[in-house]
């Protein structure tokens, strides 16, 4: 029964997706209905599996799929986000996005397959399959930029999938099994270490950690917004971090070196990505860099190797999926209503779009790690994990802690800019008639924003004991004291006092006049868009060098590899001069070499 | 009387009848070619199913006592190859009807195509090395002419290069055969294998092996003997490119290499080493060169060099798993690469260009061609769950299992490179906005005769993995790979079957 449900929840969405793919455009309503229906069913199945947790298949080919605390938690996450994005898209889709729901359903099935897989080859299959569906979904935005972003994403993600084949092959050679729950590989030999690296790389690429991140900002900027909220912001994070957690918690016995790799990658990702985020001037691209930066906390948490750090990493994963999809979906509303995501053109939308603004604000505060929202709790746990991992002879933990906190500070800074540029400030004249989100879109973002609050305020009541702690499956000792309920009350009280103070103590009322210059109304010109907030940061020295390198694409592994290969290609093209005799000479030389080898070895 | 010779007689016969009738009666050339190709495919399928019971089918022409005389043999390996190659040939024949529709010398095209098919079938059936050579030349000659079919400057140059290099290879092969004959006094492959096993190693063998590696390596387009391929495959008419890439290089090159070195010489470490080296060279150089291509057919042509490298590598590793992977990869590559060449023909037909940089939005203008191109490329790049993925993963696993993780690393890296060069070039052409090209009319979808073969090949590319299931088609690959992994048994099995 239970194993049938696993199979159904993987293959029914895929089959439905294939069916929707072939539906003609005028029957789109059928695709929409099917999508809602199937995502609801998937959620029901995921919750059922979470409660029942059937361990294995009972027969010989047992254990092809595994449902334990970790994977069933991921399964629920995947289904929830699929459902939310589906509901949102009911309101968002107008253009010829006919195949959107087909791909969405296929992605849902593939993601559930990857989450429940116990056989590593099955994992690889679904992993690569998701790269293909992401590619197709990003390409639905029929522009050259979207095509470029899509191919980059495909090449990086599916490319690392090929590397994972290598790692799985090594694991198979060392342990004679493909089943994840039977693998417990110590990282003592070179090959087992390589296997770990390949799997870590695959999860980095999927989640978007550096240096495999460069596809993410591109996709965020140029891909369709619901797609960005669905895959890079939530599902890819869930799966990438799931695999990393699975690898470091059960498949491999971690040692200092392997943890060190994760710590370095994690802190570098946090700091560098947020530095890049500061100077972006496109709403979606900026969010894309934050989607990279936040992965750093998850990797860092897992890299600490402590129970609370891992719990923090996993909690941050789900929190990030919530607030980042909220951010993307609200910016989707902005994009749809205002017709642009260029920060220099946006501004002053808060009054026109109160629901969107509120939700965006909540999510922005969450991602910045402001208490009492959810982002704070998980970051707090990651910090505790770093401190707990500290040992007498090792002072490196200070670096990890400082970079995590520094990254958090810069996140606040860049969201100040974002909030100002999009929602506050003086509105541009073009946007006086902008409306707020429609029913479906508002419903989704409100749910996500409420989840940010609930997961923050009731962190120790709802998400942690039910979802996270069982998944980590180790005893957790909290070091610091954090009582969110009390804190929330205090913070709320503080806000109320501040508001009263503003009401009663505010300075002399002021008047607003248009800006004139030489008798001409010049309000539009004098608008402060917020884009320039941190432009001067480029002049600070170490940062300036980093920005210069980023502009030269030195952090983009895709670009570096491309240039490297091109140099080989050009050389080889020069040799292939089209002259027949030279080709014949190669043949002759090849023969001579072969003869020598055969003569000597035969 | 055995039915085996029919596989040669039918296409060869149609090759003679088509010029007789096709010049006079309009439209009959296509029908005859399709009919003959279909019969040939049906027969090969029949033989392959028959193999499941008996293991090997053999007949001795003219009832000479073997090993004297002309022997025809189908075992697991040639059975698999026959089915795949005749399927491709049949679909190519259908496609060609639309492709050469406007040509005045249509009958010449079909004549040459059918002669090529008969040559291919002959190589696969031949039980002795000299007939193998003769049929190889038949297929290769037809190939030279077909490449030049367009008679433009490009085509003629390509054909000339192909012919010169091909003839050089053939000469070396012939010299090799002469040496081998003088050493063993027999031409029958099975008998030759026995004689070589009895007489033991000699200085002749490395020399002959070198000649064969060069000769058949050139036909297979292994680096450094590959230089003709990008010219020939890109200048030939699309269906011919599909035949060359999907069928020719595999039968004339890989199949013969495998047959001779596994079943006659016996796989020695030296031969293994050469195969692996050639394989890796082809993988790396073919793929790196493909990275710089924006001409759709040249891209596919260089990619063929890279993928042939995988097959050679798998064979060179030599473990049963690796051979299985290599053969499955061969099957995938035959199907997907002929699909891609057919696609390229349809695209060129509709857009009038082969330059990928000038295309955009193919997928919305020509959905069938576009999506089948996507399927073919995804399969070649080895993306799950398409058939190509399984060939790739088996080869990589086999390398690791055989204790060669470094080679597995190269294979995995090249598969990333493959992915990169395919999608770097194809994505902007397939997706993106539909280009408005002012004066010209809108780009149209290919005609039905073109779409049908593409759809069938795309279906096989998607569902090919099903063949790995034990209940469905695994026996085909199992029996083929066991022929190679139990190399020495071939002689006894064949001689037993001939008697």
Q: What is the ipTM of this complex?
A: 0.91
Mutate to test the interface with A, among B213, B217, B221, B224 (most CBs of A within 10 A): B224
Residue A149: is its pLDDT beyond 60? yes
The residue-averaged pLDDT of A556-564 equals 86
The verdict on A259 and A382 lying in the same domain is yes
User: pLDDT exceeding 90 applies to what percent of chain A?
Assistant: 19
Q: Do B292 and A570 touch (CB under 8 A)?
A: yes
Residue A300: is its pLDDT beyond 80? yes
Residue A506: is its pLDDT beyond 90? no
B377 in reach of chain A (CB within 8 A): no
Residue A348: is its pLDDT beyond 60? yes
Confirm whether A147 is domain-assigned. no
Residue A573: is its pLDDT beyond 70? yes
Look at residue B2 in the predicted model and tell me its pLDDT. 80
SS3 at position A521: strand
Nearest-Cα distance to chain A for B385, in Å, is: 6
A470 in reach of chain B (CB within 8 A): no
The verdict on A588 and A544 lying in the same domain is no
CA distance A501 to A505: 5
The residue-averaged pLDDT of A506-526 equals 70
Residue A527: is its pLDDT beyond 70? no
Residue A142: is its pLDDT beyond 90? no
Look at residue A58 in the predicted model and tell me its pLDDT. 58
Look at residue B61 in the predicted model and tell me its pLDDT. 80
Q: Do B288 and A568 touch (CB under 8 A)?
A: yes
Confirm whether A77 is domain-assigned. no
The verdict on A453 and A596 lying in the same domain is no
Strand duo A252-253 + A185-186: pairing: parallel
pLDDT in tens, B119-161: 999 999 998 899 999 999 999 999 999 999 988 898 999 999 9
Confirm whether A540 is domain-assigned. yes
Confirm whether A594 is domain-assigned. yes
CA distance B426 to A514: 52
pLDDT in tens, B444-473: 787 888 899 999 999 999 988 888 877 767
Which residues of A, range 186-245, sit inside 8 Å of B by Cβ? 191, 194
The verdict on A456 and A590 lying in the same domain is no
Can you say whether the dihedral through the CA atoms of B285, B288, B290, B293 is positive or negative?
A: negative
Residue A538: is its pLDDT beyond 90? no
CA distance A199 to A204: 9
Q: Do B423 and A573 touch (CB under 8 A)?
A: no
The verdict on A561 and A545 lying in the same domain is no
Look at residue A1 in the predicted model and tell me its pLDDT. 64
The residue-averaged pLDDT of A545-555 equals 78
Look at residue B439 in the predicted model and tell me its pLDDT. 42
Confirm whether A44 is domain-assigned. no
Split at pLDDT 50, 70, 90, the class of A59 is low
Look at residue A507 in the predicted model and tell me its pLDDT. 65
Look at residue B140 in the predicted model and tell me its pLDDT. 94
Q: Do B416 and A121 touch (CB under 8 A)?
A: no
Nearest-Cα distance to chain A for B292, in Å, is: 6
B360 in reach of chain A (CB within 8 A): yes
The verdict on A441 and A562 lying in the same domain is no
Residue A369: is its pLDDT beyond 60? yes
Residue A60: is its pLDDT beyond 60? no
Split at pLDDT 50, 70, 90, the class of A93 is low
- CB-based contact A343:A422 (threshold 8 Å): yes
Closest to A304 (Cα-Cα) out of A288, A292, A289, A316 = A316
Q: Which residues of A touch B423 (CB under 8 A)?
A: 135, 151, 154-155
Residue A484: is its pLDDT beyond 50? yes
The verdict on A490 and A594 lying in the same domain is no
- CB-based contact A586:B227 (threshold 8 Å): yes
B61 in reach of chain A (CB within 8 A): no
Look at residue A537 in the predicted model and tell me its pLDDT. 74
The verdict on A542 and A583 lying in the same domain is no
Give helix A354-367 / helix A307-338 axis angle, nearest 10°.
150
The verdict on A415 and A490 lying in the same domain is yes
- When divided into structural domains, chain A yields a total of 2
Confirm whether A48 is domain-assigned. no
The residue-averaged pLDDT of A187-204 equals 91
Look at residue A536 in the predicted model and tell me its pLDDT. 75
DSSP state of B188: B
Closest to A48 (Cα-Cα) out of A107, A111, A5 = A5
Confirm whether A40 is domain-assigned. no
CA distance A213 to A219: 11
Lowest average pLDDT, out of A157-171, A211-225, B431-445, B452-466, goes to B431-445
SS3 at position B59: strand
Confirm whether A248 is domain-assigned. no
Positions of chain B with pLDDT under 70: 1, 435-442, 472
CA distance A278 to A537: 9
Contacts across the A-B interface (CB distance below 8 Å) = 181
- CB-based contact A317:A241 (threshold 8 Å): yes
Q: Do B206 and A126 touch (CB under 8 A)?
A: no
The verdict on A551 and A561 lying in the same domain is no
Q: Do A602 and B409 touch (CB under 8 A)?
A: no
Look at residue A145 in the predicted model and tell me its pLDDT. 87
Question: What phi and psi values does residue A503 have, to the nearest 5 degrees?
Answer: -65, -45
Lowest average pLDDT, out of A49-53, A101-105, A570-574, goes to A49-53
The verdict on A356 and A497 lying in the same domain is yes
Of B385, B400, B416, the CB nearest to A129: B385
B425 in reach of chain A (CB within 8 A): no
First and final CA of chain B: distance in angstroms? 14
Split at pLDDT 50, 70, 90, the class of A391 is low
Q: Look up the domain containing A570 and give its range.
A: 557-601
A602 in reach of chain B (CB within 8 A): yes
Look at residue B438 in the predicted model and tell me its pLDDT. 46
The verdict on A464 and A567 lying in the same domain is no
């Amino acid at each position: 029964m239970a194993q049938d449900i696993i199979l159904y929840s993987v293959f029914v969405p895929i089959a439905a997706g294939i069916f929707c793919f072939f539906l003609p455009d005028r029957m789109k309503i059928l695709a929409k209905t099917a999508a809602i229906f199937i995502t609801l069913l998937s959620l029901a199945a995921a919750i059922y599996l979470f409660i029942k947790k059937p361990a294995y298949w009972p027969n010989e080919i047992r254990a092809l799929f595994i449902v334990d605390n970790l994977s069933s938690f991921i399964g629920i996450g995947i289904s929830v986000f699929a459902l939310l994005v589906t509901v949102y898209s009911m309101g968002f889709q107008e253009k010829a996005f006919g195949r959107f729901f087909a791909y969405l359903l296929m992605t849902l099935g593939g993601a559930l397959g990857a989450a429940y897989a116990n056989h590593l080859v099955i994992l690889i299959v679904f992993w690569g399959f998701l790269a293909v569906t992401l590619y197709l979904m990003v390409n639905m935005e029929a522009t050259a930029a979207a095509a470029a972003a899509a191919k980059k994403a495909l090449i990086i993600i599916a490319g690392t999938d090929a590397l994972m084949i290598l790692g799985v092959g090594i694991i198979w050679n060392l342990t004679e099994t493909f089943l994840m729950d039977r693998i417990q590989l110590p990282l003592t030999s070179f090959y087992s270490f390589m296997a770990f690296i390949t799997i870590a790389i695959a999860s980095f690429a999927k989640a978007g950690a550096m240096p495999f991140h460069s596809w993410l900002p591109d996709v965020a900027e140029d891909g369709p917004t619901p797609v960005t909220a669905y895959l890079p912001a939530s599902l890819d994070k869930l799966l990438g971090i799931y695999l990393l957690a699975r690898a470091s918690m059960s498949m491999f016995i971690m040692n200092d070196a392997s943890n060190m790799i994760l710590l370095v990658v994690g802190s570098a990702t946090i700091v560098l990505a947020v530095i890049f985020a500061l100077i972006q001037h496109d709403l979606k691209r900026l969010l894309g860099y934050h989607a990279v930066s936040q992965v750093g906390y998850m990797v860092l948490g897992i890299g600490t190797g402590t129970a609370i750090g891992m719990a923090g990493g996993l909690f941050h994963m789900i929190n990030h999926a919530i607030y980042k999809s909220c951010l993307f979906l609200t910016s989707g509303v902005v994009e749809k209503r205002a017709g642009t995501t260029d920060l220099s053109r946006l501004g002053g939308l808060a009054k026109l779009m109160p629901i969107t603004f509120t939700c965006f604000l909540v999510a922005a505060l969450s991602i910045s790690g402001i208490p009492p929202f959810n982002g704070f709790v998980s970051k707090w746990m990651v910090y505790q994990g770093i401190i707990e991992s500290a040992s007498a002879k090792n002072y490196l933990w200070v670096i990890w802690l400082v970079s995590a906190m520094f990254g958090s500070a810069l996140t606040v800074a860049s969201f100040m800019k974002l909030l100002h540029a999009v929602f506050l400030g003086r509105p541009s004249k073009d946007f006086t008639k902008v409306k707020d989100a429609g029913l479906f879109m508002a419903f989704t973002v409100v749910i996500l924003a409420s989840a940010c609050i609930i997961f923050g305020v009731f962190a120790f009541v709802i998400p942690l004991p039910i979802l996270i702690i069982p998944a980590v499956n180790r005893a957790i000792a909290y070091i610091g004291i954090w009582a969110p309920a009390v804190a929330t009350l205090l913070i709320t009280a503080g806000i109320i006092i501040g508001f009263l103070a503003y009401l009663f103590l505010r300075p002399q009322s002021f008047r607003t006049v248009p800006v004139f210059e030489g008798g001409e109304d010049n309000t539009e010109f004098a608008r402060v868009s917020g884009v320039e907030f941190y432009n001067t940061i480029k002049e600070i020295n170490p940062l300036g060098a980093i920005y210069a390198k980023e502009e030269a694409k030195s952090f983009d592994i895709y670009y570096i590899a491309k240039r490297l290969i091109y140099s080989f290609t050009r050389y080889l093209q020069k040799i292939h001069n089209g002259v027949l005799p030279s080709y014949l000479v190669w043949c002759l030389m090849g023969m001579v070499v072969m003869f020598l080898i055969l003569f000597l070895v035969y | 009387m055995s039915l085996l010779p029919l596989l040669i007689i039918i296409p060869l016969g149609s090759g003679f009848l088509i010029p007789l009738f096709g010049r006079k009666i309009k439209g009959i050339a296509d029908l005859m070619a399709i009919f003959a190709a279909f019969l040939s495919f049906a027969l090969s399928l029949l033989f392959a199913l028959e193999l499941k019971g008996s293991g090997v089918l053999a007949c001795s022409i003219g009832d000479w006592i073997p090993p004297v005389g002309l022997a025809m043999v189908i075992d697991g390996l040639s059975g698999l190859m026959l089915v795949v190659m005749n399927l491709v040939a049949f679909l190519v024949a259908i496609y060609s009807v639309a492709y050469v529709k406007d040509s005045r010398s249509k009958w010449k095209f079909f004549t040459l195509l059918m002669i090529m098919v008969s040559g291919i079938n002959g190589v696969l059936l031949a039980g002795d090395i000299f007939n193998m050579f003769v049929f190889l030349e038949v297929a290769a000659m037809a190939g030279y002419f077909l490449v030049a079919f367009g008679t433009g400057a490009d085509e003629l140059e390509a054909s000339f290069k192909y012919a010169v290099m091909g003839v050089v290879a053939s000469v070396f092969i012939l010299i090799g055969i002469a040496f081998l004959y003088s050493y063993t006094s027999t031409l029958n492959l099975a008998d030759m294998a026995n004689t070589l096993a009895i007489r033991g190693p000699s200085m002749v063998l490395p020399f002959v092996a070198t000649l064969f590696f060069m000769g058949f390596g050139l036909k297979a387009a292994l680096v450094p003997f590959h230089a003709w391929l990008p010219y020939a495959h890109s200048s030939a008419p699309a269906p011919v490119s599909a035949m060359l890439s999907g069928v020719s290089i595999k039968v004339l090159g890989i199949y013969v290499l495998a047959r001779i070195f596994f079943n006659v010489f016996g796989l020695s470490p030296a031969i293994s080493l050469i195969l692996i080296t050639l394989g890796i060279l082809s993988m790396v150089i073919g793929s790196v060169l493909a990275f710089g291509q924006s001409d759709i057919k040249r891209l596919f042509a260089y990619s063929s060099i890279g993928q042939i490298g995988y097959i050679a590598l798998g064979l060179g590793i030599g473990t049963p798993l690796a051979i299985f992977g290599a053969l499955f990869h061969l099957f995938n590559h035959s199907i997907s690469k002929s699909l891609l060449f057919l696609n390229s023909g349809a695209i060129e037909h509709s857009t009038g260009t082969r330059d990928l940089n000038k295309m955009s939005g193919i997928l919305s203008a020509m959905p069938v061609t576009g999506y089948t191109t996507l399927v073919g490329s995804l399969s070649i790049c080895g993306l799950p769950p398409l058939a190509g993925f399984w060939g790739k993963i088996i080869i990589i696993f086999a390398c690791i299992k055989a204790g060669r993780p470094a080679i597995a690393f190269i294979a995995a890296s090249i598969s990333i490179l493959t992915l990169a060069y395919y999608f770097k070039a194809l994505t902007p052409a397939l997706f993106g906005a539909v280009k408005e090209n002012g004066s010209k009319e809108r780009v149209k979808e290919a005609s039905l005769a073109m779409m049908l073969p593409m759809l069938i090949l795309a279906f096989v590319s998607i569902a090919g993995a099903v063949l790995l299931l034990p209940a469905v088609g695994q026996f085909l690959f199992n029996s083929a790979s066991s022929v190679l992994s139990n190399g020495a048994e071939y002689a006894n099995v064949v001689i037993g079957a001939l008697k």
